[in-house]
Amino acid sequence: MFKNYTINQTTLPLDMDQFISETDVVFAVHSLVEAIPQKLFHQLEQPLGRPAYHPKMMLKVILYAYTQKVFSGRRMEFLLEDSYRMRWLANHEQISYRTINRFRRQETTAQLLAEAFVLFRRQLITNQVIENEAIFIDGTKIEADARKFSFVWRKSTNRYETMLDKKSEQFYQKLYE
């Protein structure tokens, strides 16, 4: 005996967020973008032409795709069709890869991403996930033979740590103003 299986039966759509775990990264991306000041999104508003997708939605889609190691516009479009997490962030909108890429190319989008970076860092410090002194070095490549110049020296990391922290604070203050 099998369970009843009928694909053509009419069903009502359910809220997608009930299928997503409360600790999922999609909610972190959602809360991060919602915390960005509204005035930054008004810079993207155009008075003429067809109404555009909301920049909050576009930013959520892009940031979530980045967390999934997806950087191509076409792959993001595929994720919008395939992933219910992306569908939930996009409110069931089907966004083309051209629209995603046009949004990413705008100069104000770079400002939004910078604001998201600073805000995310502040949220992590506030929630005590990281310390204010935390420094993250990415892109470090260590080769198997460990030659003299194949890794980052600890002394140079310590020397630039204070400078990076000052730059980050200045950048945050500039964006906060």
pLDDT tens for 63-88 read: 899 889 999 999 999 999 998 889 88
pLDDT digits (tens, 9 = 90+) for 2-25: 666 667 766 666 677 777 888 888
Q: Decide which of 174 and 64 is more confident.
A: 64
Compute the distance between CA of residue 63 and CA of residue 26 in angstroms, rounded to an integer: 9
pLDDT for the residue numbered 4: 67
Q: What is the DSSP string of 69-127?
A: T---HHHHHHHHHH-HHHHHHTTT----HHHHHHHHHSHHHHHHHHHHHHHHHHHHHHT
Alpha-carbon 120 to chain mean position: 10
Q: Tell me what the mean pLDDT of segment 148-177 comes to.
A: 68
Q: Decide which of 129 and 94 is more confident.
A: 94
Range of 2-6, 55-59, 116-120, 168-172 with top mean pLDDT = 55-59
Alpha-carbon 83 to chain mean position: 16
Task: Find all residues with CB under 8 Å of 157, minimum gap 6, and list them.
Answer: 135, 137
Q: What percent of the chain has pLDDT over 90?
A: 15
Residue 53 contacts residue 95 (beta carbons within 8 Å): yes
As a whole number of Å, the end-to-end CA separation of the chain is 66
- Enumerate the domain spans of the chain: 16-106
Give the confidence band of 164 by pLDDT, cuts at 50, 70, 90. Answer: confident
Residue 63 contacts residue 76 (beta carbons within 8 Å): no
Work out the angle at residue 53's Cα, subtended by the Cα atoms of residues 49 and 57, and round it to the nearest 5 degrees.
Answer: 160
Enclosing H/E stretch for 163 = helix 154-176
pLDDT for the residue numbered 80: 93
pLDDT for the residue numbered 138: 57
Q: Tell me what the mean pLDDT of segment 53-66 comes to.
A: 90
pLDDT digits (tens, 9 = 90+) for 86-118: 988 998 889 999 999 998 888 888 878 877 777
Nearest C-alpha neighbor of 82 from the set 14, 70, 23, 10: 70
Range of 35-39, 159-163, 173-177 with top mean pLDDT = 35-39
